[in-house]
Amino acid sequence: QPNGQTASYRYDPFGRRISKSVDGITTEFFWQGDKLIAEHHAGRHRSYIYEPDSFRPLALLEGYGPKQTKPYHYQLDHLGTPQELTNPDGEIVWSAHYRAYGEIARLDAGKIDNPLRFQGQYFDQESGLHYNRHRYYNPDIGRYLTPDPVKLAGGINAYQYVPNPTGWVDPLGLSSCPGGDGCKPSVIAQGSAPSVNDGEPTLPQLTRAEREAKINDLAEKNAYRRLGEIEQAHPKAHFLEKHGAQTTLDSQLERVKTAKNPTTGEIERYIDGKKKGEPKTPSAATRYFSHRDQLNAIYRAQLIFRRTNLEMSREPINMGKVTGEGYKKEGLQYGRQTKARVFLDKDGNPITAFTEF
Protein backbone atom coordinates (compact mmCIF):
# COMPACT_ATOMS: atom_id res chain seq x y z
CA GLN A 1 0.00 0.00 0.00
CA PRO A 2 1.14 3.65 -0.40
CA ASN A 3 1.68 3.92 3.36
CA GLY A 4 4.25 1.14 3.22
CA GLN A 5 2.06 -1.53 4.80
CA THR A 6 2.67 -4.99 3.38
CA ALA A 7 0.76 -8.25 3.60
CA SER A 8 1.87 -11.76 2.66
CA TYR A 9 -0.19 -14.96 2.42
CA ARG A 10 0.61 -18.69 2.59
CA TYR A 11 -1.46 -21.55 1.17
CA ASP A 12 -1.54 -25.34 1.60
CA PRO A 13 -1.38 -27.84 -1.32
CA PHE A 14 -5.18 -27.63 -1.70
CA GLY A 15 -5.07 -23.88 -2.22
CA ARG A 16 -6.50 -23.01 1.19
CA ARG A 17 -5.03 -19.93 2.82
CA ILE A 18 -3.35 -21.09 6.03
CA SER A 19 -1.80 -17.82 7.24
CA LYS A 20 -1.42 -14.14 6.55
CA SER A 21 1.15 -11.68 7.87
CA VAL A 22 0.36 -7.97 8.06
CA ASP A 23 3.08 -5.66 9.36
CA GLY A 24 4.78 -8.49 11.21
CA ILE A 25 1.62 -9.90 12.82
CA THR A 26 0.83 -13.43 11.61
CA THR A 27 -2.64 -14.96 11.75
CA GLU A 28 -2.99 -18.71 11.18
CA PHE A 29 -6.13 -20.27 9.69
CA PHE A 30 -7.50 -23.76 10.36
CA TRP A 31 -9.80 -25.63 7.99
CA GLN A 32 -12.25 -28.52 7.97
CA GLY A 33 -12.58 -29.44 4.33
CA ASP A 34 -13.48 -26.19 2.58
CA LYS A 35 -14.78 -24.44 5.70
CA LEU A 36 -12.73 -22.02 7.78
CA ILE A 37 -13.26 -23.19 11.37
CA ALA A 38 -10.68 -21.20 13.36
CA GLU A 39 -8.05 -18.47 13.29
CA HIS A 40 -5.26 -17.74 15.74
CA HIS A 41 -2.55 -15.22 16.47
CA ALA A 42 -0.58 -14.31 19.59
CA GLY A 43 -3.34 -12.23 21.12
CA ARG A 44 -6.53 -13.99 20.00
CA HIS A 45 -8.12 -17.32 19.11
CA ARG A 46 -11.45 -17.62 17.30
CA SER A 47 -13.58 -20.54 16.16
CA TYR A 48 -16.49 -20.57 13.71
CA ILE A 49 -19.46 -22.94 13.83
CA TYR A 50 -21.73 -23.48 10.81
CA GLU A 51 -25.14 -24.95 10.11
CA PRO A 52 -24.82 -28.65 9.18
CA ASP A 53 -23.69 -29.26 5.59
CA SER A 54 -23.69 -25.53 4.91
CA PHE A 55 -21.54 -22.40 4.77
CA ARG A 56 -24.10 -20.44 6.82
CA PRO A 57 -22.40 -19.44 10.13
CA LEU A 58 -24.13 -20.18 13.44
CA ALA A 59 -21.73 -18.90 16.08
CA LEU A 60 -18.37 -17.26 16.72
CA LEU A 61 -16.41 -18.49 19.74
CA GLU A 62 -13.73 -16.14 21.03
CA GLY A 63 -11.11 -17.11 23.61
CA TYR A 64 -8.95 -19.98 24.80
CA GLY A 65 -10.47 -23.07 26.39
CA PRO A 66 -14.04 -23.74 27.60
CA LYS A 67 -13.80 -21.48 30.67
CA GLN A 68 -12.52 -18.40 28.83
CA THR A 69 -14.42 -18.77 25.56
CA LYS A 70 -17.17 -16.22 24.87
CA PRO A 71 -19.89 -17.27 22.39
CA TYR A 72 -21.51 -14.86 19.94
CA HIS A 73 -24.47 -15.87 17.78
CA TYR A 74 -24.93 -14.91 14.13
CA GLN A 75 -28.21 -13.42 12.92
CA LEU A 76 -28.38 -14.00 9.16
CA ASP A 77 -30.44 -12.82 6.22
CA HIS A 78 -32.06 -15.17 3.68
CA LEU A 79 -28.70 -15.63 1.92
CA GLY A 80 -26.81 -16.57 5.07
CA THR A 81 -25.00 -13.21 5.24
CA PRO A 82 -24.30 -12.04 8.83
CA GLN A 83 -26.48 -9.08 9.78
CA GLU A 84 -25.79 -9.06 13.52
CA LEU A 85 -23.79 -10.77 16.24
CA THR A 86 -25.39 -11.11 19.67
CA ASN A 87 -23.89 -12.17 22.98
CA PRO A 88 -25.60 -14.67 25.35
CA ASP A 89 -27.47 -11.78 27.02
CA GLY A 90 -29.06 -10.81 23.71
CA GLU A 91 -26.98 -7.63 23.31
CA ILE A 92 -26.08 -6.73 19.73
CA VAL A 93 -22.28 -6.44 19.62
CA TRP A 94 -21.88 -6.23 15.83
CA SER A 95 -24.36 -5.01 13.23
CA ALA A 96 -23.96 -3.85 9.64
CA HIS A 97 -25.83 -2.73 6.53
CA TYR A 98 -24.54 -3.92 3.15
CA ARG A 99 -24.58 -2.67 -0.40
CA ALA A 100 -25.89 -5.03 -3.08
CA TYR A 101 -22.59 -6.82 -3.75
CA GLY A 102 -21.44 -7.27 -0.16
CA GLU A 103 -19.59 -4.07 0.71
CA ILE A 104 -20.51 -2.73 4.16
CA ALA A 105 -22.28 0.60 3.78
CA ARG A 106 -22.76 1.30 7.48
CA LEU A 107 -21.53 -0.33 10.68
CA ASP A 108 -24.16 0.16 13.38
CA ALA A 109 -22.40 -1.74 16.17
CA GLY A 110 -18.78 -2.78 16.41
CA LYS A 111 -17.89 -3.87 19.94
CA ILE A 112 -16.17 -6.84 18.30
CA ASP A 113 -15.11 -7.33 14.68
CA ASN A 114 -16.63 -9.89 12.35
CA PRO A 115 -14.74 -10.89 9.18
CA LEU A 116 -17.40 -13.19 7.66
CA ARG A 117 -19.41 -11.74 4.78
CA PHE A 118 -21.27 -13.55 1.95
CA GLN A 119 -21.23 -17.34 2.40
CA GLY A 120 -17.64 -18.59 2.24
CA GLN A 121 -16.09 -15.09 2.24
CA TYR A 122 -13.59 -13.64 4.73
CA PHE A 123 -12.94 -9.87 4.83
CA ASP A 124 -9.30 -8.74 4.72
CA GLN A 125 -9.10 -5.28 6.26
CA GLU A 126 -5.62 -4.68 4.86
CA SER A 127 -6.85 -4.91 1.24
CA GLY A 128 -10.60 -4.43 1.43
CA LEU A 129 -11.00 -7.70 -0.50
CA HIS A 130 -12.91 -10.85 0.44
CA TYR A 131 -11.01 -14.15 0.43
CA ASN A 132 -13.46 -16.58 -1.24
CA ARG A 133 -11.56 -19.90 -0.99
CA HIS A 134 -10.41 -20.23 -4.63
CA ARG A 135 -10.37 -16.52 -5.53
CA TYR A 136 -10.36 -12.99 -4.14
CA TYR A 137 -13.52 -10.93 -4.50
CA ASN A 138 -13.82 -7.14 -4.67
CA PRO A 139 -17.16 -6.11 -3.07
CA ASP A 140 -16.76 -2.55 -4.30
CA ILE A 141 -17.22 -3.57 -7.95
CA GLY A 142 -18.89 -6.96 -7.41
CA ARG A 143 -16.23 -8.86 -9.37
CA TYR A 144 -13.47 -11.39 -8.79
CA LEU A 145 -9.86 -10.42 -9.43
CA THR A 146 -9.07 -13.60 -11.36
CA PRO A 147 -11.06 -15.67 -13.89
CA ASP A 148 -13.18 -18.61 -12.79
CA PRO A 149 -11.08 -21.81 -12.27
CA VAL A 150 -13.98 -23.89 -13.61
CA LYS A 151 -13.85 -21.86 -16.83
CA LEU A 152 -17.14 -21.80 -18.78
CA ALA A 153 -18.85 -24.05 -16.22
CA GLY A 154 -19.14 -20.93 -14.08
CA GLY A 155 -20.73 -18.86 -16.86
CA ILE A 156 -19.67 -16.74 -19.82
CA ASN A 157 -18.42 -13.89 -17.62
CA ALA A 158 -15.39 -15.44 -15.90
CA TYR A 159 -15.10 -12.59 -13.36
CA GLN A 160 -18.77 -12.41 -12.37
CA TYR A 161 -19.73 -13.14 -8.76
CA VAL A 162 -23.31 -14.39 -9.26
CA PRO A 163 -26.16 -13.59 -11.68
CA ASN A 164 -28.15 -11.88 -8.91
CA PRO A 165 -26.64 -11.09 -5.46
CA THR A 166 -30.09 -10.94 -3.83
CA GLY A 167 -30.77 -14.61 -4.43
CA TRP A 168 -27.49 -16.40 -5.25
CA VAL A 169 -24.16 -17.12 -3.55
CA ASP A 170 -20.79 -18.61 -4.50
CA PRO A 171 -19.24 -20.04 -1.30
CA LEU A 172 -16.10 -21.41 -2.97
CA GLY A 173 -15.50 -18.92 -5.77
CA LEU A 174 -16.23 -21.56 -8.40
CA SER A 175 -19.90 -21.60 -9.44
CA SER A 176 -23.02 -19.93 -8.08
CA CYS A 177 -26.19 -21.45 -6.67
CA PRO A 178 -29.38 -20.36 -4.85
CA GLY A 179 -28.41 -18.80 -1.53
CA GLY A 180 -30.64 -20.82 0.77
CA ASP A 181 -29.31 -24.23 -0.30
CA GLY A 182 -25.79 -24.15 1.21
CA CYS A 183 -24.57 -25.28 -2.21
CA LYS A 184 -21.34 -26.94 -3.14
CA PRO A 185 -19.80 -26.93 -6.63
CA SER A 186 -20.56 -29.99 -8.69
CA VAL A 187 -18.07 -29.29 -11.50
CA ILE A 188 -14.29 -29.39 -11.11
CA ALA A 189 -12.09 -27.62 -13.62
CA GLN A 190 -10.22 -29.89 -16.01
CA GLY A 191 -6.71 -30.53 -14.77
CA SER A 192 -7.33 -28.79 -11.44
CA ALA A 193 -5.76 -30.02 -8.22
CA PRO A 194 -7.60 -32.77 -6.29
CA SER A 195 -10.16 -31.62 -3.76
CA VAL A 196 -9.27 -31.73 -0.09
CA ASN A 197 -12.19 -34.15 0.36
CA ASP A 198 -11.05 -36.63 -2.32
CA GLY A 199 -10.99 -40.16 -0.95
CA GLU A 200 -13.29 -39.38 1.97
CA PRO A 201 -16.44 -41.51 2.41
CA THR A 202 -19.64 -39.89 1.20
CA LEU A 203 -21.47 -38.04 3.96
CA PRO A 204 -25.21 -38.63 4.45
CA GLN A 205 -27.23 -36.01 2.58
CA LEU A 206 -29.91 -34.41 4.75
CA THR A 207 -33.05 -32.91 3.33
CA ARG A 208 -33.87 -29.30 4.18
CA ALA A 209 -36.51 -30.50 6.68
CA GLU A 210 -34.05 -32.90 8.33
CA ARG A 211 -31.39 -30.19 8.50
CA GLU A 212 -33.81 -27.70 10.06
CA ALA A 213 -34.98 -30.32 12.57
CA LYS A 214 -31.38 -30.99 13.54
CA ILE A 215 -30.65 -27.28 13.98
CA ASN A 216 -33.83 -26.77 16.02
CA ASP A 217 -32.97 -29.72 18.25
CA LEU A 218 -29.47 -28.34 18.86
CA ALA A 219 -30.82 -24.85 19.60
CA GLU A 220 -33.37 -26.30 22.04
CA LYS A 221 -30.68 -28.27 23.88
CA ASN A 222 -28.48 -25.17 24.12
CA ALA A 223 -31.38 -23.11 25.52
CA TYR A 224 -32.15 -25.83 28.09
CA ARG A 225 -28.51 -25.90 29.18
CA ARG A 226 -28.38 -22.10 29.47
CA LEU A 227 -31.61 -21.96 31.52
CA GLY A 228 -30.18 -24.57 33.86
CA GLU A 229 -26.98 -22.58 34.30
CA ILE A 230 -28.90 -19.39 35.12
CA GLU A 231 -31.20 -21.16 37.58
CA GLN A 232 -28.33 -22.86 39.39
CA ALA A 233 -26.50 -19.54 39.72
CA HIS A 234 -29.42 -17.98 41.64
CA PRO A 235 -30.78 -20.07 44.56
CA LYS A 236 -34.18 -18.33 44.59
CA ALA A 237 -34.82 -18.99 40.89
CA HIS A 238 -37.37 -21.64 39.90
CA PHE A 239 -38.45 -20.77 36.34
CA LEU A 240 -37.09 -23.95 34.75
CA GLU A 241 -38.03 -26.23 37.62
CA LYS A 242 -41.68 -25.16 37.67
CA HIS A 243 -42.42 -23.86 34.16
CA GLY A 244 -39.81 -25.35 31.81
CA ALA A 245 -40.67 -27.20 28.60
CA GLN A 246 -39.37 -30.43 30.15
CA THR A 247 -42.35 -30.46 32.55
CA THR A 248 -45.56 -32.14 31.41
CA LEU A 249 -49.13 -30.89 31.17
CA ASP A 250 -50.20 -33.56 33.67
CA SER A 251 -47.61 -32.32 36.18
CA GLN A 252 -48.99 -28.78 35.83
CA LEU A 253 -52.52 -30.06 36.50
CA GLU A 254 -51.23 -31.85 39.59
CA ARG A 255 -49.46 -28.67 40.74
CA VAL A 256 -52.55 -26.47 40.48
CA LYS A 257 -54.56 -29.10 42.40
CA THR A 258 -52.11 -30.18 45.11
CA ALA A 259 -49.10 -27.76 44.98
CA LYS A 260 -46.84 -30.62 43.89
CA ASN A 261 -43.60 -29.36 42.32
CA PRO A 262 -43.45 -30.63 38.68
CA THR A 263 -39.75 -31.46 38.96
CA THR A 264 -39.00 -32.43 42.57
CA GLY A 265 -42.38 -34.00 43.33
CA GLU A 266 -42.52 -32.23 46.70
CA ILE A 267 -45.71 -30.60 47.99
CA GLU A 268 -44.94 -26.91 48.47
CA ARG A 269 -46.36 -25.41 51.66
CA TYR A 270 -46.60 -22.00 53.32
CA ILE A 271 -43.79 -21.56 55.83
CA ASP A 272 -45.36 -18.80 57.95
CA GLY A 273 -48.53 -16.78 58.47
CA LYS A 274 -52.08 -18.00 58.95
CA LYS A 275 -51.70 -20.64 56.23
CA LYS A 276 -48.47 -22.07 57.62
CA GLY A 277 -48.19 -25.74 56.71
CA GLU A 278 -50.99 -25.67 54.14
CA PRO A 279 -50.33 -26.59 50.47
CA LYS A 280 -49.27 -23.52 48.48
CA THR A 281 -51.41 -24.04 45.38
CA PRO A 282 -50.93 -21.39 42.67
CA SER A 283 -53.77 -19.53 40.94
CA ALA A 284 -52.53 -21.08 37.67
CA ALA A 285 -49.87 -23.57 36.61
CA THR A 286 -48.35 -23.29 33.15
CA ARG A 287 -45.45 -24.62 31.10
CA TYR A 288 -43.56 -23.36 28.04
CA PHE A 289 -43.65 -25.37 24.83
CA SER A 290 -39.96 -24.67 24.17
CA HIS A 291 -36.90 -23.73 26.19
CA ARG A 292 -35.98 -21.14 23.57
CA ASP A 293 -39.23 -19.24 24.13
CA GLN A 294 -38.64 -19.19 27.89
CA LEU A 295 -35.06 -17.99 27.46
CA ASN A 296 -36.23 -15.38 24.97
CA ALA A 297 -38.83 -14.09 27.46
CA ILE A 298 -36.14 -13.74 30.14
CA TYR A 299 -33.79 -11.88 27.78
CA ARG A 300 -36.58 -9.54 26.72
CA ALA A 301 -37.50 -8.78 30.33
CA GLN A 302 -33.84 -8.09 31.18
CA LEU A 303 -33.60 -5.73 28.21
CA ILE A 304 -36.69 -3.85 29.43
CA PHE A 305 -35.15 -3.75 32.92
CA ARG A 306 -31.92 -2.21 31.62
CA ARG A 307 -33.73 0.38 29.51
CA THR A 308 -36.51 1.28 31.98
CA ASN A 309 -36.97 -0.14 35.48
CA LEU A 310 -37.86 -3.24 37.48
CA GLU A 311 -41.58 -2.50 37.55
CA MET A 312 -41.83 -2.27 33.76
CA SER A 313 -39.91 -5.52 33.31
CA ARG A 314 -42.66 -7.37 35.20
CA GLU A 315 -45.41 -6.34 32.79
CA PRO A 316 -46.85 -9.10 30.54
CA ILE A 317 -44.81 -9.61 27.36
CA ASN A 318 -46.68 -10.38 24.13
CA MET A 319 -44.68 -13.20 22.54
CA GLY A 320 -46.51 -12.97 19.20
CA LYS A 321 -47.44 -16.66 19.15
CA VAL A 322 -48.72 -19.45 21.39
CA THR A 323 -45.81 -20.29 23.70
CA GLY A 324 -47.35 -22.27 26.55
CA GLU A 325 -50.23 -24.15 28.11
CA GLY A 326 -51.62 -24.90 31.54
CA TYR A 327 -54.52 -24.80 33.96
CA LYS A 328 -56.27 -22.21 36.08
CA LYS A 329 -57.01 -23.17 39.67
CA GLU A 330 -60.59 -21.99 39.41
CA GLY A 331 -62.55 -24.69 37.60
CA LEU A 332 -59.32 -26.35 36.44
CA GLN A 333 -59.74 -24.52 33.14
CA TYR A 334 -57.21 -25.49 30.44
CA GLY A 335 -55.79 -22.81 28.17
CA ARG A 336 -52.94 -21.82 25.88
CA GLN A 337 -51.04 -18.59 26.32
CA THR A 338 -49.40 -15.99 24.08
CA LYS A 339 -48.12 -13.77 26.91
CA ALA A 340 -45.19 -14.25 29.26
CA ARG A 341 -44.42 -12.85 32.69
CA VAL A 342 -40.90 -12.62 34.08
CA PHE A 343 -40.00 -11.55 37.60
CA LEU A 344 -36.45 -10.29 38.13
CA ASP A 345 -34.69 -9.36 41.35
CA LYS A 346 -33.31 -5.87 41.97
CA ASP A 347 -30.11 -6.77 40.09
CA GLY A 348 -31.96 -8.02 37.01
CA ASN A 349 -31.53 -11.74 37.68
CA PRO A 350 -34.55 -13.95 36.83
CA ILE A 351 -36.55 -15.52 39.66
CA THR A 352 -39.42 -16.96 37.64
CA ALA A 353 -40.69 -16.89 34.06
CA PHE A 354 -44.05 -18.35 33.10
CA THR A 355 -46.75 -18.07 30.46
CA GLU A 356 -49.79 -16.14 31.65
CA PHE A 357 -53.50 -16.58 30.98
> Mind listing the pLDDT tens digit for each residue in 269-286?
999 999 999 999 999 999
Query: Is the model's pLDDT at 197 over the cut of 90?
Result: no
CA 212 to mean position of chain CA atoms: 13
- Say yes or no: 22 and 163 in one domain: yes
Which candidate, 68, 104, 112, places its Cα nearest to that of 87? 112
**Distance of alpha carbon 242 from alpha carbon 223, whole angstroms:** 16
- Say yes or no: 137 and 246 in one domain: no
Query: Is the model's pLDDT at 318 over the cut of 70?
Result: yes
Q: What is the pLDDT of residue 322?
A: 96
Reported as a pLDDT band with limits 50, 70 and 90, residue 234 is: very high
- Say yes or no: 301 and 348 in one domain: yes
Q: What is the pLDDT of residue 196?
A: 55
**Distance of alpha carbon 244 from alpha carbon 288, whole angstroms:** 6
Range of the domain at 35: 7-181
**Distance of alpha carbon 84 from alpha carbon 76, whole angstroms:** 7
Region for residue 58 given its phi and psi (left: phi exceeds 0; alpha: psi -120 to 50; beta: otherwise)? alpha
Q: What is the pLDDT of residue 160?
A: 93
Average pLDDT over residues 63-76: 91
Reported as a pLDDT band with limits 50, 70 and 90, residue 297 is: very high
- Say yes or no: 170 and 234 in one domain: no
Evaluate whether residue 198 is within a structural domain.
no
- Say yes or no: 20 and 161 in one domain: yes
Reported as a pLDDT band with limits 50, 70 and 90, residue 176 is: confident
For the chain, the domain total comes to 2
Distances (CA, A) of 191 to 133, 145, 188: 18, 21, 8
Evaluate whether residue 186 is within a structural domain.
no
Evaluate whether residue 193 is within a structural domain.
no
Distances (CA, A) of 133 to 18, 81, 111, 275, 349: 11, 16, 27, 70, 44
DSSP state of 61: E
- Say yes or no: 166 and 222 in one domain: no
**Using DSSP, how many helices (H) and how many strands (E) does the chain show?**
6, 22
Instruction: Report which listed range, 162-171, 175-184, 338-347, is most confident.
Output: 338-347
SS3 249: helix
**Distance of alpha carbon 331 from alpha carbon 291, whole angstroms:** 28
- Say yes or no: 225 and 177 in one domain: no
| Last residue within a domain, chosen from 165, 181, 197 | 181
- Say yes or no: 155 and 237 in one domain: no
Q: What is the pLDDT of residue 219?
A: 87
Give the global pTM. 0.53
Q: What is the pLDDT of residue 271?
A: 92
Q: What is the pLDDT of residue 199?
A: 57
Q: What is the pLDDT of residue 190?
A: 47
The pairing of beta strand 57-62 with beta strand 70-76? antiparallel
Q: What is the pLDDT of residue 179?
A: 66
> Mind listing the pLDDT tens digit for each residue in 81-127?
999 999 999 999 999 999 999 999 999 999 999 999 999 999 999 99
Q: What is the pLDDT of residue 187?
A: 41
Evaluate whether residue 62 is within a structural domain.
yes
Evaluate whether residue 201 is within a structural domain.
no
Share of the chain above pLDDT 90, in %: 76
Average pLDDT across the chain, whole number: 90
- Say yes or no: 215 and 319 in one domain: yes
Query: Is the model's pLDDT at 4 over the cut of 80?
Result: no
Query: Is the model's pLDDT at 201 over the cut of 90?
Result: no
Q: What is the pLDDT of residue 184?
A: 47
Q: What are φ and ψ of residue 350, in 5° steps?
A: -75, 135
Average pLDDT over residues 40-69: 92
| Last residue within a domain, chosen from 161, 181, 201 | 181
Instruction: Report which listed range, 21-30, 61-70, 177-186, is most confident.
Output: 21-30
- Say yes or no: 237 and 327 in one domain: yes
- Say yes or no: 31 and 137 in one domain: yes
- Say yes or no: 25 and 173 in one domain: yes
Following DSSP, what letter does each residue of 13-41 receive, concatenated? TTS-EEEEEETTEEEEEEEETTEEEEEEE
